[in-house]
Structures are given as C-alpha cells and as structure tokens.
Chains A and B, each alone.
Chain A
Amino acid sequence: MATHGTRPRRAMTPSYEFGSVARSEDFPVGSQVTSSRNGLVEATDNWWYSPQCMLLFADLAIRPYAADGTTPPGDLQKAVDEARAGTIFALGLADFVGAESWMRLVHPREQAPDIRIMYVDDSGPKGSHAMRTLRPR
C-alpha cells in the first residue's frame, strides 16, 4: 500500500527550524495506536485522515448553514475553525518534513489532545518506516 503521494521530497533539515523530529517512542507503520483511557484499542482509533479530507469534512459540516443563509451554532463553528487550524498545522508539518501527514480528531472521552497528527517517515530502509510526531528538542 502506498504511503506517500507525489509531493517532491525535501531535505529533513531545512534552512530554518520549524520543529524537531522525534526519533524514539514513535509508532511503526501498521501498528495500532492505543489512546483510549482504559488501554483498549477501539475501531475509531484507526480512523486517520489526510488534512485535505479534513478540510472537505469541515466544509461539509457548515455547508447547510451557508445554503440557508443562517449562522452555524457557536459550538459547531468553533469546532470547524479549530479543525481547520489543526489542518493548516498538519499541512505545514507535511511541507516541512516533505512527507504526508495524517490526522485524527480525538473523541471527548479521551480528554486530550484535541487532534492527533503524525507524519510518515519513510526516509530510511523499509523496516524503519514509522509514523512520527513533532516533539520539543
């Protein structure tokens, strides 16, 4: 299964620093991500989407209100605005590392964070490919 698109790969160390790249405690490609509070992996835990899909979902969520000329409820508008902001961050991360990023909205039962974002690091041998997160140095 292909894990990267047609975006040209860029060096992992650009001229300015956008963020550091985690090298440990990451998730190997194909692994389950356990994020439920009780440690169980549930079906929704693997519903990861590309940022572009997330933008389309956000537009679909408020399209009925735009069609009616009405204002979306405050909670919905806030959720859409923050999902879009998370998507912009994910797209920036993808450009920075020159790889795809993937994201998942976190259910309130998991409390935090609001969104999980990872990128595909396939720069090394196939066995070392992994989904990685951004971490402070």
Chain B
Amino acid sequence: MTTYTKHSTESLSEFLFRTKLDPSKKAYSSDTVIVARIEPDSTPSEIAAMTQQLQDRSAQGLCYLVGRLDQVRFQVVRVFPTFGGPQEVNFDEAFNEPIPTANPFLA
C-alpha cells in the first residue's frame, strides 16, 4: 500500500517507479500487488498515459490505483504492466448485501 498525496511534487509515474516499481531497488513476490491510493484529481487519459511511461522505464510489478469519485463511489484501475479497468466500487452497494461472516479458511 502506498499513498500519492496532494502535496507530492513529482509526477505519479515517477512516484510509483521510485517507491515501488524500480526493479533495481524493489523485489516483490509474484503474488504481491502494489495498491496506490491517489489523492489529487486525475483524468483517465493521464492515468492511461502513465502505463506507457512506466513501461518505457522498464518498471516491474503489478500495480493498481484506487481513486475516489464521490463520498461512496471509488474506482480501481490497473496501471502496470498493462492498463485495465476501471472497476467501480460502491460502498452503499457493498453494504446492501449480507456481510459475509464465515471464514473460508476454517471451513
């Protein structure tokens, strides 16, 4: 988990590469996903362009961004190794259904 704050001075792609996706500095297992919470406003085209920027820098890993649309709606997009999504998440809908309580690991 990482957070790209409103106070960050570098670009989002530079931030992700420096902190999480630089293969010379970081090594994660194959089932590790980098999830970044994005505070500043971002357009879909900016995020899509970031995938190309990360590919050009030979980044390594699996990275998703989480952004907020309004009080209850969020979007999840994959930005590396390829662009994918968005997948929308609505908190109200999540709580409209029964909350699962059975732990499948103890089945």
Alpha-carbon distance A89/B31, docked complex (angstroms): 15
> Interface range on chain A: under 10, 10 to 19, 20 to 34, or 35 or more?
35 or more
User: B31 contacts A135, CB within 8 Å?
Assistant: yes
User: B105 contacts A30, CB within 8 Å?
Assistant: yes
A12 within 8 A of B: no
User: A112 contacts B66, CB within 8 Å?
Assistant: no
Provide the residues of chain A in CB contact with B37, threshold 8 Å.
Answer: 81-82, 85
Kindly identify which residue among A27, A78, A88, A134 contacts B62, using a CB–CB cutoff of 8 Å: A134
User: A30 contacts B3, CB within 8 Å?
Assistant: no
> Interface range on chain B: under 10, 10 to 19, 20 to 34, or 35 or more?
35 or more
User: A29 contacts B30, CB within 8 Å?
Assistant: no
Kindly identify which residue among B66, B91, B107 contacts A1, using a CB–CB cutoff of 8 Å: B107
User: How far is the CB of A6 from the nearest CB of chain B, in Å?
Assistant: 6
Kindly identify which residue among B3, B98, B105 contacts A6, using a CB–CB cutoff of 8 Å: B98
User: B97 contacts A89, CB within 8 Å?
Assistant: no
Provide the residues of chain B in CB contact with A55, threshold 8 Å.
Answer: 91, 94
Provide the residues of chain B in CB contact with A133, threshold 8 Å.
Answer: 31
Known contacts A96-B87, A100-B100; 17 additional CB pairs below 8 A are A1-B102, A3-B107, A27-B105, A48-B103, A48-B105, A78-B3, A82-B3, A86-B35, A89-B33, A89-B66, A92-B76, A92-B89, A95-B89, A112-B32, A120-B104, A135-B30, A136-B61
Residues of A at the B interface (CB closer than 8 Å) are 1-7, 16-19, 22, 25, 27, 29-33, 46, 48, 50-53, 55, 78, 81-82, 85-86, 88-89, 91-92, 95-96, 100, 102, 112-115, 117, 120, 131, 133-136
